[in-house]
Amino acid sequence: MEEGRVIGVGAEAVLILCTWLGLKAVKKIRIRKSYRHKVLDEDLRRERTILEARLMYEARRLGVPSPTLYDVDLDNYCIVMEYIEGPKLREVMSKLRTKELRAILSKLGYAVGILHANGIVHGDLTTSNVILKEGIPFLIDYGLGSFSYDTEERAIDLHILLRSLESTHYSLSKKAFKMFLKGYSNALGREILFNVLKKVKEIRRRGRYVKERA
């Protein structure tokens, strides 16, 4: 392992390979935003670090496959977590057989349903934030997540996933989304599924309206 190697750079944080008590791990460090006032920036980074750690811990506690939280360093706005070995769903979706894809997406839908049923929204539910480890979809990057039971917040999660599927695997997107919804419905029930999908349609209509107006 190339300890100290940067494996990801996002708008909010840098991901670095490391070890923690001999275990392969990832260190996520929230970076300074020069356009924000220093005190405000520090407060925001600290709050987001605490929130992400709580979300990840709660997800694991609920049995949702997610990285194990190893350590939180608020002075350096840093989280150390388990390194999940495996490809991103985005990288392998088109190579999977229908049976495999159905099993994976149904499990993913069930996991997201469990999160939503317990007042957690992921915030960035894309196929790049799902890692497959031995056929199990692990949800990573809770950095934009929140605690909420709001139907619109749940719908935004599903809307983001659907857009992710359409942008990277358009030919599979409708079938894949239905597979996901099967597991999601099993976790939350048909009534909640109906209400969330109704809100997803609303969000998509709003998006089209904005594009047309532009």
* Annotated catalytic residue within 41, 43, 71, 124: 124
Rounded Cα gap, residues 6 and 9, in angstroms: 8
Task: Please answer whether residues 181 and 193 qualify as being in contact, where contact means their C-beta atoms are separated by less than 8 angstroms.
Answer: yes
Rounded Cα gap, residues 65 and 153, in angstroms: 21
Region class of 134: left (phi > 0), else alpha (psi between -120 and 50), else beta: left
Cβ neighbours of 75 (radius 10 Å): 6
Helix or strand or coil: residue 28?
strand
Q: Which residues pair with 98 in a beta bridge?
A: none
Q: Is 71 a residue of the active site?
A: no
Active site residues: 124
